[in-house]
Amino acid sequence: MARTTGSDGEKTEAAIREAALELIARLGFEAMSMRQLAGQVGVQPAALYRYFPTKEELLYALMCEHMENLIASWGEVRPATGSEKERPAGRLAAFVENHIRFHLSRRNATHVSNLELRSLSEERLRHILGMRSQYEGELRRILADGQSDGVFRIDDVALTAMAIIQMITGVIVWFRPELRLSEDEVAANYHTMTMRLVGAET
Amino acid sequence: MARTTGSDGEKTEAAIREAALELIARLGFEAMSMRQLAGQVGVQPAALYRYFPTKEELLYALMCEHMENLIASWGEVRPATGSEKERPAGRLAAFVENHIRFHLSRRNATHVSNLELRSLSEERLRHILGMRSQYEGELRRILADGQSDGVFRIDDVALTAMAIIQMITGVIVWFRPELRLSEDEVAANYHTMTMRLVGAET
């Protein structure tokens, strides 16, 4: 994607991305126009196209950034090799907590990434799904390790990974900060449910 | 909604609904035009408006039908009062199996119902969410009964109900009939995971 140098260009691009996530999450990708987006950012429509030559490139850039950030966030909290927490139960706890916190702090980007895949061209869709698969592969490895260590009771690793991903991503559908439970309480509850789901002692 | 009498009118309306589900699931509600839909059904655009005066009324009708069918399907399989299967574990098994089979057999309607809520007006959205809440209330009651009978280990009934709903609805995101697992095997696997998640003996 085109990227102008210098801090003004970067600030404008960041402003475009943020406004686009908000508008797409609210209206849907098809319903949002580049003109509307330019108005929201406070620039001329032509300026948008310097950063994102097509509307689909904008969507793709947003989805790439979301997946790259998700994979990076897991890299940061992943328990160190050889540590006590690196055992399957500790890694699973870290994975669930990071996944929930990451998505709760990026609701718009999560909605866009989950709802707008159909608007990507085939090749770009494949790239996004490849990144997803890489990320979900981390979870599958945790589950398989716990299964072979005998600490998890799992009938089907791939199915269990999908079930957990969908369960923990679903938090953003209903969680509102003003509700009776805090983010910490929600994360703790989902951690307990996940451990039970994989048949680990809790 | 307008409903012409006689079987021709009913057949046309059914054809419109089916074509609309397919087009909306594929293109998105905002991207689909009534003209495109008329072309798909093989009628004049004006004919569509006899059945669905606005595009939003069409969407609302599709979502209402989906939720009414879901609630009715649960009514049909719900274990009889006083029967052995009416105990919480039997009811939960029936709920999970029905939910998965219902959604797998109605993928387009499920996608439309899950992805297009933002295009409903406030009052209609409230009505759809009310029906959802009624349906999810059935699951919450099963979980609460199992909790008070001491057969389920559940920390938070509402949270657990959301987790289960999202886990089992998520099946339609990845399940393809040509994959290695049959619908029966998938349903059985999700039943086992659900029972573990609620801490029931399996």
Tell me the C-alpha to C-alpha distance, in Å, between residue B84 and each of B79, B90, B200. Answer: 8, 8, 16
pLDDT of residue A20: 97
Which residues 114-133 of chain B have a CB within 8 Å of chain A?
115, 118-119
* Ramachandran sector of residue A99 (left: φ over 0; alpha: ψ -120 to 50; beta: rest): alpha
Which residue do the tokens 């399996």 mark? Answer: B202
Kindly report the number of other CB atoms within 10 A of residue B147's CB atom: 19
Inter-chain touch B30–A27, beta carbons under 8 Å: yes
Average pLDDT over residues B151-162: 95
d(CA B111, CA B85): 31
What residue type is A36 in one-letter code?
A: Q
d(CA A78, CA A9): 34
| DSSP H or E run through A36 | helix A34-41
Which residue do the tokens 């719900």 mark? Answer: B78
Answer whether B160's CB lies under 8 Å from B134's CB: no
Kindly report the number of other CB atoms within 10 A of residue B156's CB atom: 19
d(CA B114, CA A197): 25
Q: Enter the ipTM.
A: 0.89
Average pLDDT over residues B109-124: 93
Contacts of A163 in chain B (CB under 8 A): 167, 170, 190, 193
Inter-chain touch A29–B28, beta carbons under 8 Å: yes
Classified as helix, coil or strand, A201 is coil
Residue pLDDT, tens place only, A147-158: 999 999 999 999
d(CA A167, CA B169): 9
Of A31, A169, A193, the CB nearest to B160: A193
CA–CA min distance B83, chain A (Å): 28
Q: Does B4 touch chain A (CB under 8 A)?
A: no
Residue of A nearest to B164 (CA): A167
Average pLDDT over residues A130-141: 97
Whether the per-residue pLDDT at B3 is higher than 60: the answer is no
Token code pair at residue A184? 């910490």
Which residue do the tokens 């210098």 mark? Answer: A6
Closest CA to B175 of B158, B166, B191, B187: B187
Residue pLDDT, tens place only, B21-51: 999 999 889 889 999 999 999 999 999 999 9
Whether the per-residue pLDDT at B2 is higher than 60: the answer is no
Closest CA to A163 of B149, B194, B11, B148: B194
Helix spans in B88-155 (H): 88-104, 107-115, 122-149
Which residue segments constitute the domains of chain A, with CATH numbers given? Answer: 1-53 (1.10.10.60), 55-197 (1.10.357.10)
pLDDT of residue B6: 61
pLDDT of residue B173: 83
Closest CA to A62 of A30, A95, A8, A22: A22
Contacts of B192 in chain A (CB under 8 A): 155
Inter-chain touch B166–A165, beta carbons under 8 Å: no
Which residues 130-169 of chain B have a CB within 8 Å of chain A?
153, 155-156, 159-160, 162-167, 169
d(CA B106, CA B99): 11
Inter-chain touch A197–B197, beta carbons under 8 Å: yes
Q: Does B27 touch chain A (CB under 8 A)?
A: yes
Contacts of B156 in chain A (CB under 8 A): 181, 189
What b/e sequence results for A32-66 when a residue is b if at least 16 CB atoms lie within 10 Å of its CB, and e otherwise?
bebeebbebbebeeeebbebbeebebbbbbbbbeb
Any idea what the Cα angle at residue B59 is, between residues A26 and B1, rounded to 5°? 140
d(CA B90, CA B99): 14
Answer whether B76's CB lies under 8 Å from B45's CB: no
Closest CA to A21 of A42, A37, A7: A37
Inter-chain touch B159–A181, beta carbons under 8 Å: yes
DSSP state of B79: P
Contacts of A156 in chain B (CB under 8 A): 181, 189
Inter-chain touch B155–A189, beta carbons under 8 Å: yes
Contacts of A198 in chain B (CB under 8 A): 196
Q: What value does the CA radius of gyration of chain B take, rounded to a whole number of Å?
A: 19
Residue pLDDT, tens place only, B50-104: 999 999 999 999 999 999 999 999 999 999 988 888 899 999 999 999 999 999 9
Token code pair at residue A122? 């085939």
Size of interface A-B (CB pairs under 8 A): 82
Q: What value does the CA radius of gyration of chain A take, rounded to a whole number of Å?
A: 19
Residue of B nearest to A152 (CA): B196
Kindly report the number of other CB atoms within 10 A of residue A124's CB atom: 18
pLDDT of residue A82: 87
Contacts of B182 in chain A (CB under 8 A): none
Contacts of B199 in chain A (CB under 8 A): 196
d(CA A185, CA A180): 10
pLDDT of residue A106: 95
Count of residues in chain B: 202
The average confidence (pLDDT) of chain B is: 92
Inter-chain touch A170–B163, beta carbons under 8 Å: yes
Residue pLDDT, tens place only, A22-74: 999 998 898 899 999 999 999 999 999 999 999 999 999 999 999 999 999 99
pLDDT of residue B133: 95
pLDDT of residue A7: 79
Contacts of A193 in chain B (CB under 8 A): 159-160, 163, 197
pLDDT of residue A51: 95
CA B173 to chain CA mean position, Å: 13
- Backbone φ and ψ for A193, nearest 5 degrees, come out as -65, -40
Whether the per-residue pLDDT at B5 is higher than 60: the answer is no
pLDDT of residue B108: 95
Inter-chain touch B197–A192, beta carbons under 8 Å: no
Q: Does A35 touch chain B (CB under 8 A)?
A: no
